[in-house]
Structure 1
Amino acid sequence: MNSEQNKQLQEWKLKYIKLNPILLIFMGLILIAFGIVSQTVDINYEYISTRYDEICANKIQCSITIVVPSKMKSPIFFSYEVSSFFQNTDKYFNSIPYDLLYGNLDFDISICDQYKSNREMGKIFSVTNKTLEQDEIAIPCGIAAYSYMNDEFTLTKDGNQILITDKGIAWESDKEKFTNINLDKQWIDMESERFINWMRPSPLSKFRKLWGRIDQDLESGTYTVNIQIKTNDAFAETKKYFLLHNNGQFSDPILVITLPCLCVGPFLIIFGLINMIYWGKKQNLIKKYRIY
């Protein structure tokens, strides 16, 4: 063994960080077990899901009767679910003008692609009901904003409306960033938590987003969900559902608990095995050339 090889091995010995492969494998097994258990526990949560795009087809307004089988304790979350809708494509993701959403008019307008002006976005009135200049830049613009799922829902029981608030449904980190510019020129309130939730892209083609929360118990019985359809042609091929559930602020537990655990767990196990083999070979190499 020459001096150059000895020098390289000495440098490797100093730089190499030994990771405990047994610990990595153990952590991976724990994550996989936790992911499986979390999905099993999720079945015990109370939720009511109803597909409404077929019932409300070709209608502007419709009403759907649902039955709450047992008392649901507050807070209760109202979500919508969309399937066969892709927010995870490069074109969709790159069309989100974050500078504009964060209150800065100095942004690259080419990001908005074919949905730049109020005319292209199909927007006529501002948040304050003022007429928008059709050739002005839409605030906000882009494919993501154009496809905003803005159906509206009300919940009633025996003719009495139950309050569904839009407060406390978005991530605090998002709410701190989204900033209105001029409501007289905006077609939507960019600080609306419903809009903020929509602008957080989903990694899957089927996803849920929080629409509101109910801060009172719902007694068992028959309820009516009144729906005002406002979505555009972006949802022509999608399936739409509304849900009542009490499984916390995260409307889709499989995305925040189960899926990450089942993805990271196997990775840690594989990495642990690779580390074990790699470290073992290096140790044999060190012993062979008696590097201490």
Structure 2
Amino acid sequence: MDTDRERHSARETAFYLFTQQSLPACKPVLTPGWVIAIFLFMGVIFIPVGLVTLRASHCVVEIVDRYDIDCVPESSRMDKVSYIRDDSIPKNCSRFMKVHKYMKAPIYIYYQLDNYYQNHRRYVKSRSDKQLLDGQKYHDTSSCQPVESNNNRPIVPCGLIAWSLFNDTFEFIREGAELKVNRKNIAWKSDRGHKFGKNVYPFNFQNGTLIGGGKLNPEIPLSDQEDLIVWMRTSALPSFRKLYGRIEEDLDVDDVVVVNLTNNYNTYSFGGKKKLVLSTSSWLGGKNDFLGHACVFVGCSSLTLAIIFMLLHVKYRRPYGDTSYLPWNRKSFSG
């Protein structure tokens, strides 16, 4: 009986300690000294990291050219949608991009789309990952609506994402010589190897009355059509860039690159913008100042708070653990 009572009492004691948050635990006490030291440490760490990140971003050379308006003839600029939908009108256009700073190879070519909501719920869902991997062996493509089939035959790849494939093309010339564009390995290796079938070929694609974007070569498997793979990885933001290829030659200062492009893709019906981007890279990737500015802001804010707390601690120093500063004790003293 005594043993049972002891066990019951021990359980009650443990339960009491648990409910009263009195179990043995690490309970750091944030004294003014510790708080000031933590903010100083954050400032010392974040400011140099931010400055290094900004320097890496500023080392990236980038040329951006918006071409969607200038590549429409002046006579058609009042009705751009009709112009882009008229297949009888040639869409060839030439642009000139001057290099203001030495660009070391590889030079990455991106196309940038603005005001294009690839994250729209219906758009994102309109695809079949199993069909991309297994082809016509997989028959349940209801998720691809409204681009699921045509003339009672399945479409491979199905869905709105594939149907709206970007189809502007670019050719680059410097001093009369063509700059070769490497379009291999522009997609993620995991996507090529595990998400798109090596024995899956386009079938009945863009054969309907309403044509969306680009067409696919029916003799090349989906795993090798990297422009499609890049496009199928949808963006979370309405402004995004996608990799088109790489120029594996250096560009010198004052070089003029002539870009012969075909302005096929329709962004005029929804007020979108199209831009061509040439960019180098650093050890941190492409040009992005946000991370550096964020680190510097956090570091400066931490240092400012540390100085403020230090001045307050020096001016209004009081002994640690003085219960007279508790609110109820203040009331009793004042009464």
Q: Same fold (TM over 0.5)?
A: yes
Task: Please state how far the C-alpha of 1:115 moved relative to its aligned partner.
Answer: 1.4
The yes-or-no answer on 1:141 pairing with 2:158 is yes
The alpha-carbon distance between structure 1 residues 65 and 135, as it changes in their structure 2 partners (threshold 3 A), is: farther
Specify which of 23, 42, 49 is matched with residue 57 of structure 2: 42
Distance 1:101 1:166 in 2: 21
2:17 equivalent in structure 1: 6
The yes-or-no answer on 1:114 pairing with 2:146 is yes
Distance 2:131 2:293 in 1: 34
The yes-or-no answer on 1:65 pairing with 2:96 is yes
Code of the residue aligned with 1:72 in structure 2: it is: M
Distance 1:180 1:11 in 2: 61
2:176 equivalent in structure 1: 159
Distance 2:48 2:246 in 1: 31
The alpha-carbon distance between structure 1 residues 248 and 114, as it changes in their structure 2 partners (threshold 3 A), is: farther
Deviation string for 1:221-272 (max 9, x for gaps)?
A: 2221111133246864210100111116997554xx9469959x98xxxxxx
The alpha-carbon distance between structure 1 residues 108 and 261, as it changes in their structure 2 partners (threshold 3 A), is: farther
Larger Rg: 2
Specify which of 260, 268, 276 is matched with residue 242 of structure 1: 276
Specify which of 213, 216, 233 is matched with residue 200 of structure 1: 233
Code of the residue aligned with 1:96 in structure 2: it is: R
The alpha-carbon distance between structure 1 residues 96 and 5, as it changes in their structure 2 partners (threshold 3 A), is: farther
Scaled by the length of structure 1, the TM-score of the pair is 0.68
Task: Please state how far the C-alpha of 1:205 moved relative to its aligned partner.
Answer: 0.9
Any unmatched runs of 5+ in structure 1?
Answer: 120-133, 267-292
Scaled by the length of structure 2, the TM-score of the pair is 0.61
2:246 equivalent in structure 1: 213
Secondary structure at 1:149's aligned position in 2? coil
Code of the residue aligned with 2:246 in structure 1: it is: R
State percent identity of aligned pairs.
28
The yes-or-no answer on 1:229 pairing with 2:258 is no
Code of the residue aligned with 1:150 in structure 2: it is: N
**Residue correspondence of structure 1 range 182-197 to structure 2 within 5 A:** 182-183=200-201, 185=203, 187=205, 188=216, 190-191=222-223, 192-197=225-230
Code of the residue aligned with 2:118 in structure 1: it is: Q
Task: Please state how far the C-alpha of 1:40 moved relative to its aligned partner.
Answer: 5.4
- Aligned-pair Cα RMSD in Å: 3.8
Q: How many residues align?
A: 247
Distance 2:190 2:139 in 1: 21
The alpha-carbon distance between structure 1 residues 29 and 236, as it changes in their structure 2 partners (threshold 3 A), is: farther
CA contact (8 A) 2:126 2:159 kept: yes
Task: Please state how far the C-alpha of 1:17 moved relative to its aligned partner.
Answer: 11
Distance 2:193 2:38 in 1: 36
Task: Please state how far the C-alpha of 1:50 moved relative to its aligned partner.
Answer: 0.1
**Please, which moves more after superposition, 172-181 or 222-231?**
172-181
The alpha-carbon distance between structure 1 residues 204 and 8, as it changes in their structure 2 partners (threshold 3 A), is: same
CA contact (8 A) 2:173 2:257 kept: yes
Code of the residue aligned with 1:185 in structure 2: it is: F
Distance 1:108 1:28 in 2: 55
Code of the residue aligned with 1:47 in structure 2: it is: E
CA contact (8 A) 2:53 2:284 kept: no
Task: Please state how far the C-alpha of 1:158 moved relative to its aligned partner.
Answer: 2.9
1:283 equivalent in structure 2: none
Deviation string for 1:153-212 (max 9, x for gaps)?
A: 110123321110111222222222222444362642522222211111212111111100
